[in-house]
Amino acid sequence: MSCILAIDDRPINRQFLASLLGYGGHKVLEASDGEEALGIVRQSHPDLVITDIKMPRMDGYEFVDRLRREAGSAAPPVIFYTALYHEREARAIADAHGVTDIITKPSEPEEILKKVSAALGLDGLTSRPGSTEIEAGEHRELDALRATGLKLSALVELGMELGSEHDARELLSRFCSTARHIIGARKSMLGILSEDGDKLKYFLINGLKESRPLVHDRPPLHHSVLETIINDRKPVRINHGEANLLLGQLSPDSSSIHSFLGAPLMSATEVYGWLVLLEKQNNEVFTEEDERLATTLAAQAAIAYENAVFSERLQRNAEELDRTRREQLEMKDEFISHVSHELRSPLAALHQFTTIMLDGLAGEVSSEQREYLEIVLKNSLQLRDMIGDLLEVTRTQGGKLTIEPQPTSLRDLFRPMIQTYKRRAADKGIDFRTTCPYELPLVQADPTRIEQVLSNLLDNALKFTRQGAISVSGSLDEREKFVRIAVTDTGFGISADCVPQIFDRLYQSPNTLESSRRGLGLGLHICKHLVELHGGRIWVESKEGEGTTVFFTVPVTTIHERNN
C-alpha cells in the first residue's frame, strides 16, 4: 500500500481523489495548501504527491520548488492535478520543475489510477488491487459513486471558469470538452451558427483523434439531424443501429458511431447552435439522464456565450466611443488654437495703431481724441485677455495645463503686481490695503500661474466694487501646511444660491457695473483649476450687498533652501 498526499484548495477535488485512490488501494493524506502539505511531507514521507496548481498563498509551482529544496533527492515524485485548459502551460512548467506527470481535471478514473501507478513504479498495476475480493454489486455501486464524484467536480470547475471567461471561442472550447467528460462521450462537437444561419461562426471538436478528424474542412452544417435540433429546439437522442443510418453523411467513418446525443444551445429568445455528443463510453448508450444533463449544459453554455458576446460588443462600443470622444476633443482644441491665433493678428494691428496715436507718433491728439483712443485700447486689451482665457480653458479641459512648481515667496512675487492694482484702485477712488506677515514661509508654486490667479481675483474685485476698499492678505493656516491668500472687496457680493456656481465654466455674474463688460465667464474656472493643480483649495464667502472674499491656499514648500 502506497501513501499518497493530495493537495487541492477545493475540498470536492480532494474528496474525489481520496475516494478514488482509496478505492485503488492507496492510503491518502490531504492538504488544502502548500504550507500544510510541506508539514505533512516532513512528518509522513508520502510515496507520491498529487498537487493542484492554482492555489491561494502558495501555488503548485512554488510548492514543488520548496519541496525540492527541503527534501532534495529524497523528495517524493510529484504529479500536477490541473484544469484541462491549463494543461499545455502546466506541461512546460512541469518539465522545468521535474514534475513526473500531469493529470487534468476532469479525467477518467482509470486514467488517474494508471498515471498514479506509473509514478509509483507499479506499472503492471492498471487493474484495481484487491478487486477480486469486492463483490460485483459493490463494484457497480462504486462505479456509480465515482462517476457522480467526477461529474460534480467537473461541474464545479466549469461553473467557476465559465463565469469569468469573456472570450467566446475559449469559452465554447472549454465547454465542449467539459460536456464530453461529464456525460462520458468519446467525442463532442459544438457549433454556433452565423447570424444569417448559413455558416458556422464557431466550430469546436473534442476527443477526436487528430489523425482522423470527424470533419475535415467542412463542418456538418446541413445535416438533417443538426437541422432538426435547431428547428425543433429540442434534444435528439439516437442509439444503436439507428444512429448509423441517420448519421450517414456526418462522418467518413460513421460506421463506428453507435450512439448520438444532440442538444440546442438556446437561451430564452435565441437558438445559437448545437452541442453534439457521440459514442457513449464503454459501448453504453446515452440515457434519459444524459439527455437532461446535455440540455441543461447546453442552455448554460448558451447563456455564457450570450454574455460573452454582449461583453465583447460592449467593450468594442466603449472603445469606439472613447476614441471618438478623444478625436473630437483634439479637433476642438485644434480649432480653438487656430481661431485664437487668427484673432490675434488683427488685434495686434488694432493695438499697435491705437498706441501709435496715443504716443503722439502720428501727430498731436486732442484730449477728447485721447479719451476715445483710451477706450479703444482698453477694449482691445480686454479682447486679448478673452482670447488668452479661451485657449487656457481648452487646456484645462484637455488636461494639458501643466505647472512647474518651485519654492516661491508669495510676498516677493505679488509685490509688483499689487503696485499696479493699487494705482488702478486709486484711479477709481477705491482704497487698497495689503496685510502680509514677514515670516510667511515659501510656498511650492509655479510663479506665473499663481500670479495669474491673484491677478484674476483682483480684476474681479475691481470690476465689482464701486466704492469702499479692496484688501489682499496672506496668512499661514492652522496646520502650517498651506499659505492662505484672501482677496476681499466691498462690491455687490454674491447671492447665496449663486455661490456654488461661481467656479463653473461660463458662469457670469448678473451684477456687473454697467461700465464694464461681463467677460467670457472663464476666469474663476481657470483659477480653480490652477489652484487645484498646485494641491490647494479655492472658495468664496460673500454677503449680497456687502462684499466678497475669495480665499485660496498654496502648499508650503517641503524643499528647504541651503541657506535656510
Partner 1 sequence: MKGNKILIIEDDHDIRRGLNVRLRASDYETAFASDAVMALSIAKKEAPDLILLDLGLPGGDGFLVLERMKNIASLACTPVIVVSARDPKTNEKRALDAGAQAFFQKPVDNKDLLVAIQRALMK
Residue ranges that bind partner 1, judged by CB under 8 A: 337, 340-342, 344-353, 355-356, 359, 361-362, 380, 384, 391, 395
Give whichever of 134 and 356 is closer to partner 1, judged by the CB atom: 356
Query: How many CB atoms within 10 Å of residue 403?
Result: 16
Cβ nearer to partner 1, comparing 356 with 506: 356
CA-to-CA distance for 493 and 543, rounded, in angstroms?
5
* Nearest-approach distance from CB 399 to partner 1, in angstroms: 14
282 vs 402, which CB is nearer to partner 1? 402
7-28 per-residue burial string, b: 16 or more CB within 10 A, e: under 16:
bbbbeebbbbbbbbbebbbbeb
Smaller CB separation from partner 1, 353 or 507:
353
Label residues 515-542 b or e (16+ Cβ within 10 Å = b).
Answer: eeeebbbbbbbbbbbbbeebebebebeb
Choose between 161 and 446: whose C-beta lies nearer to partner 1. Answer: 446
Q: Which of 145/362 has CB closer to partner 1?
A: 362
Of residues 363 and 510, the one with the C-beta less far from partner 1:
363
User: Shortest distance, CB of residue 408 to partner 1, whole angstroms?
Assistant: 20
Beta strands (DSSP E) in 12-52 are 27-31, 48-52
Angle separating helix axes 288-358 and 136-164, nearest 10 degrees: 10
- Least distance (Å) between residue 481 CB and partner 1: 30
What is the nearest approach in angstroms of partner 1 to the Cβ of residue 520?
18
Contact 257, 279 (CB under 8 A): yes
Nearer residue to partner 1 within complex by CB, 14 or 449: 449
Closest approach, Cβ 402 to partner 1, in A, equals 9
Instruction: Give CA–CA dist 192/168, Å, rounded.
Output: 10
Rounded to a whole number of angstroms, the minimum distance from the CB of residue 355 to partner 1 is 6
DSSP-based three-state secondary structure for 41? helix
DSSP line for 234-303: S-EEEETHHHHHHTTTT-TTGGG--EEEEEEEE-SS-EEEEEEEEEEGGG----HHHHHHHHHHHHHHHH
The nearest distance, CB 422 to partner 1, in angstroms, is 20
* CA atoms of 522 and 508, how far apart (whole Å): 9
Q: Toward partner 1, which CB reaches closer, 12 or 373? A: 373
Q: Which is nearer to partner 1, 362 or 506 (CB)?
A: 362
Q: How far is the CB of 358 from partner 1 (least distance, A)?
A: 11
d(CA 266, CA 178): 18
Q: Are strands 185-193 and 443-445 parallel, antiparallel or unpaired?
A: unpaired
Q: Which is nearer to partner 1, 263 or 393 (CB)?
A: 393
Q: What angle do CA 204, 208, 210 make, to 5 degrees?
A: 95
Order of strands, sheet of 236-239, starting from the edge strand that comes earlier in the sequence: 200-206, 185-193, 271-280, 259-266, 236-239
Helix axes 168-183 and 288-358, enclosed angle (nearest 10): 170
Shortest separation between residue 356's beta carbon and partner 1, angstroms = 5
Q: Is 202 helix (H, G, I), strand (E, B) or coil?
A: strand
Phi/psi at 82 (nearest 5 deg)?
-140, 160
Would you call 361 exposed, middle or buried from its count of C-beta atoms within 10 A (0-12, 13-18, 19+)?
exposed
* Least CB distance to partner 1 at residue 516 (A): 21
Residue with smaller CB distance to partner 1, 44 or 352? 352
Question: What is the chain's percent helix, strand, coil content, to nearest 5?
Answer: 50, 20, 30
Q: Are 487 and 465 in contact (CB under 8 A)?
A: no
CB of 426 to partner 1, least distance (A): 22
Distances (CA, A) of 133 to 100, 110, 112, 144: 31, 19, 22, 19
In angstroms, give the least distance from the CB of 388 to partner 1: 9
> Of the two residues 93 and 365, which places its CB atom closer to partner 1 in the complex?
365
Closest separation between CB of residue 343 and partner 1, Å? 8
CA distance 498 to 26: 81
